[in-house]
Structure 1
Amino acid sequence: MKRTRITALAAAVLLLTGCGHSIGENSSIAEVSEASSEASSETASETASEAVTTTAPVSDSSAESVTTTVEAEKKITAVETAFKEYSQTAEAEELKELPEGVKSAKKRKDFSGKGYLTGLNSKHSVTFEFDLPESQYYSIALTVAADKESKCTLTVGETPVGEFTVPGDGKFTLVTLKNIYAEKGKAQFALLTSKGAVDLDSITVTASSDVRDLKLSLGKASLVNKNADVNARALYEYICQSYGKTVLTGQHDTVGTMTETRRISEITGRYPAVRFGDLMPFTQDMIIGENELEYAEKWAEDGGIVGYMWHWLAPGGGKSCYADESDFDLSKAVTKEKIYDLSLDELKKLKKSKKISAECLAIIEDIDKVSEKLAELRDKGIAVLWRPLHEASNGYFWWSKDESSYIWLWKLLYQRQTNYHKLNNLIWVWSAQDDDWYVGDRMCDIVSADIYDKGNTAGQVEKLLFLQDITANKPIAMAECGTTPSIQSMADQHALWSYVGQWGGSYLLNEDISLNEEYNTLESLVKFYSNDLTVTREELPDLKARAAELAKAGEEKKPAETTAKDKDSSEKETVKTEKTTKAPDSSEGSGADTTTKKTTAKTTKKTASETAKKQAD
């Protein structure tokens, strides 16, 4: 997120300031490499067609009219990446030219070869040359050790491809950076230490077939809410059937406006399939957003898909959603009490008896306020792509306290909205962006990532593969991006995300509402909206008709009063089967397993472009 803050003081005339913090700032998903950006290229595989150019009026008087380029759809043909088997290991101690102070050693256990290099600190870097047989994707594995927690960067040529943390346990650890694109020929791989000191045993470069073999498809998937209504089921059915075949176009709007979405139509001649809004205003008395639901209702009436996120201002009257601008402590809200199906009066009695905290009650009160708004959409037959508690693992928001508190909150939100408020129109989208923060296959329907990598139009396949490692049973979406990826690169990388949500504000428009081509050019947006792989609003099927078919066929189960057994079903599910440490709600095994060994590093930083972005923020 470009950290111009989103607060209760925001005015309706202000554009979005940028929600998504760079994906690289999240502790786990950042381990994937940004180097595949070099693989992004517009090729000659687009079938050319003539464009029809018209002048369209614009919705904001502050902006000049724009030229709308309505291009005929282009057929996109994927250019398959060549693949040659390759695996080569370099023993670090065999490096001929060593920096001053770096030497070979044999003191540590479990090294390979004749020894390892020791003494690598911030003053040093070591470089290894590999003669690569093909321009393709590679995985790079380093065996490293440190006595104190240390941080390292790996570069290919002059490009940083990943930063990672080495635990300070004194043992050799295997760190793997996956699916890094590198050109054929002699390539320089350099290890730099930015914090602490590390020992290096070896580096192995192996050709990766992950991208070549990637095939995105889903069987007959179903929503996690067994009482989901026909509108949600029709939409999810379409999303799952289309997954891996086409990409839904999406656009985030400034709260209470249609500014960005209309601008996309004026620029490209087509509307995005999904309009994303924000329910931020509805837990506080704010001067913005009063027309928000009206816009959503009209959007659905016109055949579009409705999506919502929630910049949840700190409960209890907080004016910001950011952790460093709020003293709200989520961990104080966590309770073992079963509270999701209790009325506010019952909850107030629990607070009075000190069985739950003021923080816990405040959270429920906010959930109920937002649920009232979502219920209005439910009652009008509108399904919603619902993405709450986004980007939790990056530490920026009050809900980013820790994994177990976050999972407790997600579970509470899911149970309260599903079982108490009967919001059967919701499709739950998870985007905490770290496998330790995953809420489990039984409490979300779509997994997603927020990707901010200025000017990088690559298909971001390495991020998609990371999420697929978390779960292969859900559609995977790019919930936010600063730069819309090239559809050609997405096809070449087999990275047909379920949908792509372009962030608004300065990531799309200048202050005068003209297109900001610093992040997205007019040409790139027109291409993204004018091809046979992306779906615009005009191309969506009649989902209302499909919902009617489901109802007529008797497939919809009328959501009767939920039995105690039904209500408790989500209590008993194991959120993360691979974890063993309990979350604060001890009825579920949803905490992080600190004993689980990982074969890949938990990288904590970003590439050079992302570093510059954060410094600017």
Structure 2
Amino acid sequence: MFMKKIKSAVGAMMIAVILTGCSKIADYSGFSDTSSDYSASEESSSEHSQASDTFNVSDYTVVKQKFLSKLNAEGGVYEGATARSDGDFDGKGFLAFKEGGRLTHIVNANTPQFYRVIISARSEKGAAVKLYVKKKAEGVFYVPAAAENDESFGYCAVDSIYLASGPNTLDFVVDNGTCDVDYILVENSDAVSGDIYRTGTSCANPSASLETVGVMKYLSEIYGKNTLAAANVSLGTNAEIDAVYKATGRYPAIRTSELADAVLDSDNTAERLEDDILLALDWGKNGGLVSYKWHWYSPNTRRSIDSGAFDMEEALSPKNLDEVALMTADELKLMVENGFLSANTISLLNDIDKIAEILGRFAAEKQVVLFEPIPNGDSGLYWWGDSAGCHQKLYRLIFDRLCRFHKLSNLVWIWSGSSADYYPGARYCDIIGQSVFENSNSTFAARLSSISEILSVNKPICATSRDVLPAVDLIKRDNALWLWNAIERGKFAVNENGSLSTEFNSLSSLNNAYNSPLFITRDELPDLKNYAVGE
């Protein structure tokens, strides 16, 4: 194995995260209906030809000390807000923010350490308030919608925020909705417990193949110790991963692509998808992990993934959906003829069957697929998220149709989202996915450690799409080890000619990541086909 060394090591810092007053984390990917075409760059002759054994990191000092500072909202610099003094509040008043409003305060930290930032806030319909530290995105406060006639302020917190000693600028930006802010508390916080990295190795599918069991075993073993390098690719190409390879000398461990076009009836899309499947199969044969997302074009229009594009309520109305998922084509036809199933229900199953045909090609080669269907349902962007209850039903229908009817045993199931209302249940997924688009190399440690608490689960958590990779030294400082960090495709990784784009990730940051001992690249993966039996 190609070993990596580090010039200066930083002791892993454990952080504690408490996120109160939040129900979901609605960052989402930049998926669009039209796939971008990028030229695949020419591969180098040797997988290690440009790899480096060293990388640069910064040392961070942590000096634990009791600390508490209270900042009244009206005492800061603000815009897009109105100062009010009606009702109950602390100090001289509070600020009523419009969407897009901003509040700036400065807190003088006694020592460099992790802090908890708390806002006393309320919102009529719910709001998301982004936290920036020294102009860099670090977290989000989710202010829940108030109960009817309830005008009291509640607490929302983002924990494990590292502040240097001395003055630190805090910016609070109302990203979505409107809210009132009374005051801000900043206090010292404890280290995060390593318990979030203690997860089981069992698969959601009880009939998972030996290869799938091996992959889950490996992923569980590295979780909390390493993060897998991953990249999303433009359909039918390896443009993004080839560009990263040319820059770093290493390929990511995971190649992620998209199955959206699988349900379209077009020769052009079919050809491009076939090219992608062949590339993915080759990637698996060369020791890499294969991953597919499925942004589902609405079965009725085939044109839209947008919210409202499909009526799930009617299509998922049968009470015996678990039985419907196991029906043959003839049985389904009979159910429709007798008025027990609608055409929309059949449309859903037909699309799932098309996905099954593709995933079955990987099963035939004993290749495991990290599968992420209907992602980010709780973001409010997509038709499969128009109803929390229907989203759960649809995800379970996909699971039952693929695992129980088509007998696909080669899938590791990813559910992406952060709302407990949308979560399909522990028995339907292996890994929790997140999309992080904040234009920041922060680790978002608070978000990572809060997901398990929000969903009441203990499963590995990964970033299936990121615009900016987290900085290696910040990962070490924060002990924030997402199972993998996947760079988003297109402009986030490459220019239109297929060359590396450094708009979001600099050349040095990519090299630091891919050549660090924290990131696992393709050449460092073990033989996963035989991992379950220890060969």
- Provide the TM-score with structure 1 as the length reference: 0.71
Structure 1 residues 422 and 183: CA distance shift in structure 2, 3 A: same
- Tell me which residue corresponds to 2:320: 337
- Tell me which residue corresponds to 1:289: 273
Structure 1 position 422 matched with structure 2 position 407:
yes
Q: CA deviation at 1:471?
A: 4.8
Whole-Å Cα distance in 2 between the matches of residues 347 and 329 of structure 1? Answer: 20
Q: CA deviation at 1:317?
A: 5.0
Out of 93, 98, 101, the residue aligned to residue 117 of structure 1 is: 93
Out of 411, 435, 452, the residue aligned to residue 468 of structure 1 is: 452
8 Å contact 1:90–1:128 — kept in the other structure?
Answer: no
- Tell me which residue corresponds to 1:530: 515
Whole-Å Cα distance in 2 between the matches of residues 251 and 148 of structure 1? Answer: 36
Whole-Å Cα distance in 2 between the matches of residues 233 and 451 of structure 1? Answer: 28
Aligned pairs (5 A) from 1:127-138: 130-138=107-115
Q: CA deviation at 1:434?
A: 2.9
Out of 403, 428, 448, the residue aligned to residue 443 of structure 1 is: 428
Q: Which moved more, 1:507-516 or 1:485-494?
A: 485-494
Out of 500, 505, 509, the residue aligned to residue 490 of structure 2 is: 505
Structure 1 residues 177 and 265: CA distance shift in structure 2, 3 A: closer
CA shift digits 1:199-248 (9 cap, x unpaired):
62x5322212244x446533552112111100101111111111112221
Instruction: Find the residue that maps to 1:437 and give its secondary structure.
Output: coil
Q: Which moved more, 1:338-347 or 1:381-390?
A: 338-347
Whole-Å Cα distance in 2 between the matches of residues 354 and 151 of structure 1? Answer: 44
Instruction: Find the residue that maps to 1:139 and give its secondary structure.
Output: strand
Whole-Å Cα distance in 1 between the matches of residues 507 and 76 of structure 2? Answer: 50
Q: CA deviation at 1:492?
A: 1.8
- Tell me which residue corresponds to 2:293: 309
Structure 1 residues 443 and 270: CA distance shift in structure 2, 3 A: same
Whole-Å Cα distance in 2 between the matches of residues 146 and 522 of structure 1? Answer: 42
Whole-Å Cα distance in 2 between the matches of residues 395 and 70 of structure 1? Answer: 43
Aligned pairs (5 A) from 1:196-235: 198=180, 200=182, 202-211=183-192, 213-214=193-194, 217-218=197-198, 220-235=200-215
Q: CA deviation at 1:465?
A: 1.4
- Tell me which residue corresponds to 2:397: 412
- Tell me which residue corresponds to 1:275: 255
CA shift digits 1:47-97 (9 cap, x unpaired):
xxxxxxxxxx9439xxx99xx972332378894651424342638599799
Structure 1 residues 471 and 256: CA distance shift in structure 2, 3 A: farther
Aligned amino acid, residue 205 of structure 1 = V
Structure 1 position 432 matched with structure 2 position 417:
yes
Q: CA deviation at 1:15?
A: 3.8
Identity across aligned pairs (percent)?
25
Of the two, which has the highest radius of gyration? 1
How large is the Cα RMSD of the aligned pairs?
3.7
Structure 1 position 143 matched with structure 2 position 126:
no
Q: CA deviation at 1:118?
A: 4.9
8 Å contact 1:143–1:174 — kept in the other structure?
Answer: yes
- Tell me which residue corresponds to 1:167: 145
- Tell me which residue corresponds to 2:3: none
Whole-Å Cα distance in 2 between the matches of residues 483 and 393 of structure 1? Answer: 22
Q: CA deviation at 1:150?
A: 6.9
Whole-Å Cα distance in 1 between the matches of residues 74 and 277 of structure 2? Answer: 65
Instruction: Find the residue that maps to 1:366 and give its secondary structure.
Output: helix
8 Å contact 2:431–2:459 — kept in the other structure?
Answer: yes
Q: CA deviation at 1:517?
A: 0.9
Aligned amino acid, residue 379 of structure 1 = A
Out of 220, 225, 239, the residue aligned to residue 259 of structure 1 is: 239
Whole-Å Cα distance in 2 between the matches of residues 152 and 219 of structure 1? Answer: 31
CA shift digits 1:142-198 (9 cap, x unpaired):
333467767766666666764544634323322223333333224565777796673
Whole-Å Cα distance in 1 between the matches of residues 181 and 74 of structure 2? Answer: 14
Whole-Å Cα distance in 2 between the matches of residues 493 and 476 of structure 1? Answer: 16
Whole-Å Cα distance in 1 between the matches of residues 326 and 249 of structure 2? Answer: 47
Whole-Å Cα distance in 2 between the matches of residues 523 and 148 of structure 1? Answer: 43
Instruction: Find the residue that maps to 1:174 and give its secondary structure.
Output: strand
Aligned amino acid, residue 182 of structure 1 = L
Structure 1 residues 449 and 210: CA distance shift in structure 2, 3 A: farther
Instruction: Find the residue that maps to 2:427 and give its secondary structure.
Output: coil
Whole-Å Cα distance in 2 between the matches of residues 384 and 530 of structure 1? Answer: 25
Instruction: Find the residue that maps to 2:452 and give its secondary structure.
Output: helix
Out of 297, 302, 323, the residue aligned to residue 307 of structure 2 is: 323
Structure 1 position 90 matched with structure 2 position 75:
no
Q: CA deviation at 1:355?
A: 2.6
8 Å contact 1:216–1:496 — kept in the other structure?
Answer: no
Structure 1 residues 176 and 460: CA distance shift in structure 2, 3 A: closer
Aligned amino acid, residue 32 of structure 2 = R
8 Å contact 2:230–2:254 — kept in the other structure?
Answer: yes
Structure 1 residues 510 and 79: CA distance shift in structure 2, 3 A: same
Instruction: Find the residue that maps to 2:204 and give its secondary structure.
Output: coil
Structure 1 residues 129 and 86: CA distance shift in structure 2, 3 A: farther
Aligned amino acid, residue 297 of structure 2 = L
8 Å contact 2:67–2:110 — kept in the other structure?
Answer: no
Whole-Å Cα distance in 1 between the matches of residues 220 and 402 of structure 2? Answer: 23
Instruction: Find the residue that maps to 2:510 and give its secondary structure.
Output: helix
- Tell me which residue corresponds to 1:558: none
CA shift digits 1:493-518 (9 cap, x unpaired):
11122112112211111111111111
- Tell me which residue corresponds to 1:14: 37
Whole-Å Cα distance in 1 between the matches of residues 173 and 437 of structure 2? Answer: 24
Structure 1 position 496 matched with structure 2 position 481:
yes
Structure 1 residues 215 and 532: CA distance shift in structure 2, 3 A: farther
Whole-Å Cα distance in 1 between the matches of residues 246 and 168 of structure 2? Answer: 45
- Tell me which residue corresponds to 2:14: none
Q: Which moved more, 1:139-148 or 1:424-433?
A: 139-148
Aligned amino acid, residue 331 of structure 2 = E
Q: How many residues align?
A: 492
Whole-Å Cα distance in 2 between the matches of residues 533 and 155 of structure 1? Answer: 26
- Tell me which residue corresponds to 1:518: 503
CA shift digits 1:237-263 (9 cap, x unpaired):
111111112221112121122222223
Q: CA deviation at 1:328?
A: 1.7
8 Å contact 1:93–1:116 — kept in the other structure?
Answer: no
Whole-Å Cα distance in 1 between the matches of residues 278 and 101 of structure 2? Answer: 59
Structure 1 position 369 matched with structure 2 position 341:
no
Structure 1 residues 511 and 280: CA distance shift in structure 2, 3 A: same
Instruction: Find the residue that maps to 1:71 and give its secondary structure.
Output: coil
- Tell me which residue corresponds to 1:74: 54
Whole-Å Cα distance in 1 between the matches of residues 58 and 82 of structure 2? Answer: 49
Instruction: Find the residue that maps to 2:273 and give its secondary structure.
Output: coil
8 Å contact 1:459–1:487 — kept in the other structure?
Answer: no
Instruction: Find the residue that maps to 2:197 and give its secondary structure.
Output: coil
Q: CA deviation at 1:430?
A: 1.2
Structure 1 residues 419 and 189: CA distance shift in structure 2, 3 A: same
Instruction: Find the residue that maps to 1:140 and give its secondary structure.
Output: strand
Instruction: Find the residue that maps to 1:248 and give its secondary structure.
Output: strand
